[in-house]
Amino acid sequence: MAMKSQGSSSDKNCKVSFRKKLLIIDSNLEVKDVERLKFLCIGLVPNKKLEKSSSASDVFEHLLAEDLLSEGDSFFLAELLYIIGQKKLLQYLNYTKEEVEQLLPIKGKISLFRNLLYELSQSIDSENLKEMIFLLNDSLPKTEMTSLSFLALLEKQDKIDEDNLTCLEDLCKVVVPKLLRNIEKYKREKAAQLVTPPVDKEAELLCQGEEELVSQTDIKTFLEALPQEESWQNKHARSNGNRATNGAPSLVSRGMQGASANTLNSETSTQWAPTYRMNRDHRGLCVIVNNHSFISLRDRRGTHKDAEILRGVFQWLGFTVHIYNDVTKVVMEEVLQKQKCNPAHADGDCFVFCILTHGEYGAVYSSDEALIPIREITSHFTALQCPGLAEKPKLFFIQACQGEKIQPSKSIEADALNPEQAPASLQDSIPVEADFLLGLATVPGYVSFRHVEEGSWYIQSLCNHLKVLVPRQEDILSILTAVNDDVSRRVDKQGTKKQMPQPAFTLRKKLVFPVPLDALSL
């Protein structure tokens, strides 16, 4: 009984301590901050409760009552503080700004619509507000309003909602045209989040279960079971046969392993594989994991250049891009689980996952230096684990070393760690099924190079070739071959260090990105 009493006392002290932190946060917030908190909580906390709230502590009480806040999970409050610009107060919830940024796409509760209205409110000054009120004067009460209360009133009067922004667009066209860009951005992001009819219970259970990793034997069995007609990869390999024998780029695939260019007859040489469908509601999601800082490993200077150009190019191609910086193993697992079960996949054409970090053969490092096998990452997106991506191309681009350490020159660094034994097969990193492509910055056993100011050889070349060759309707394997050729010709200042990228794939069709209508501006 004494032990039980002691435990109860400890729990009570913890709750008191947590409430003390909430009071500290409350004391650091102004009246305008309370208004912002109340606005962001619309739809999550009953309106009557919010209307009666006169302080931040009142709002916190409602969050506790609605199970939106607890000592064990204070992320929603962290999200609110981050949005309203009170990032210094995150320390009282044991969060950093960077941690909140990483977790927002995964654990965030504020809707796209609420975020849009809040962003707009911060850009509507007092003069803009007066003009908007004047335009709607007949339908508004004669009370003093802020930009937030004005938008909240439009919502309360059913003049705007998440699917109808016509009234707001009309106001912005007249008063603040630049805000139309925010609304268009919201529409694109909302389209990427369109939810299709609920998946069946079996699929729901799959999303909650453990990932099933695959063995090299399974991969060999799968590769042997692929269709025997000549794939486009074979034809592509044959057309580049002379270059391949001279040490130029090679593409690892079932077709290239199973047939020689000299044995293919003239009839099959004229066959081309069909192309993947690229006309759904949106192109798809692109996830970028960008690790710069580590616990003991060297910082990856220049990696921000890679993240920036990847974001620009894939947004240009129509993808919705999410960047996660300095991702720990825990956050990586949350990202993978979130993306594996993302309902937006159902309406997308494709999926792209880019990882910029340190690595060893067949694995990459998280920012807290946990070694994560590449196949553990890719296996989240098989048809079994991620039904929304079934029969759709899944592309993984990894800028990380895959082997032994090399002494770098001053401006060239290697994303390498400890030497590894020679690998058995690159195919071991991709799941046992079709429609995967894994693009590694270097062949197994060797380092890849990154310029500390200009970014990595591989990612910069990949993005530059996408910019040039997508408008020419080149398919992804042709583009990667050009990337291989480009990177293989590069050397460091001393002319002693070279690099050879290597893709592995089980694509069944040609992947050709539609030519974007807008010009690319990076």
Residue numbers annotated as active site: 358, 401
Q: Measure the CA–CA gap between 409 and 417, rounded to whole angstroms.
A: 16
Size (the chain), residues: 522
Q: Which amino acid, 74?
A: S
Residues 286 and 354 sit within 8 Å (Cβ to Cβ): yes
Report the relative pairing of strands 359-360 and 319-325 from DSSP bridges. unpaired
Residues 375 and 428 sit within 8 Å (Cβ to Cβ): yes
In Å, how far from its chain's centre is CA 456?
A: 19
- Alpha-helix runs per DSSP H in 326-455: 329-340, 374-378
Instruction: Count CB neighbours of 151 within 10 A.
Output: 24
Instruction: Count CB neighbours of 189 within 10 A.
Output: 15
Residues 440 and 415 sit within 8 Å (Cβ to Cβ): no
Residues 422 and 428 sit within 8 Å (Cβ to Cβ): no
Q: Measure the CA–CA gap between 321 and 284, rounded to whole angstroms.
A: 9
Residues 304 and 453 sit within 8 Å (Cβ to Cβ): no
Task: List CB contacts of 385: < 8 A, sequence separation 6 or more.
Answer: 206, 207, 211, 212, 340, 379
What token pair was written down for 275?
């192309």
Tell me how far CA of residue 518 lies from CA of 190, 315, 317, 462, in angstroms. Answer: 20, 11, 9, 20
Shortest CA distance to 156 belongs to which of 51, 22, 272, 291?
Answer: 51
- Alpha-helix runs per DSSP H in 108-159: 112-123, 126-135, 147-156
Collapsing DSSP to helix, strand or coil, 350 comes out as: strand
Q: Measure the CA–CA gap between 68 and 242, rounded to whole angstroms.
A: 63
Contacts for 181-189: CB closer than 8 Å, 24+ residues apart: 182/116, 182/119, 182/120, 182/123, 183/116, 183/120, 186/112, 186/113, 186/116, 188/282, 188/320, 189/112, 189/320
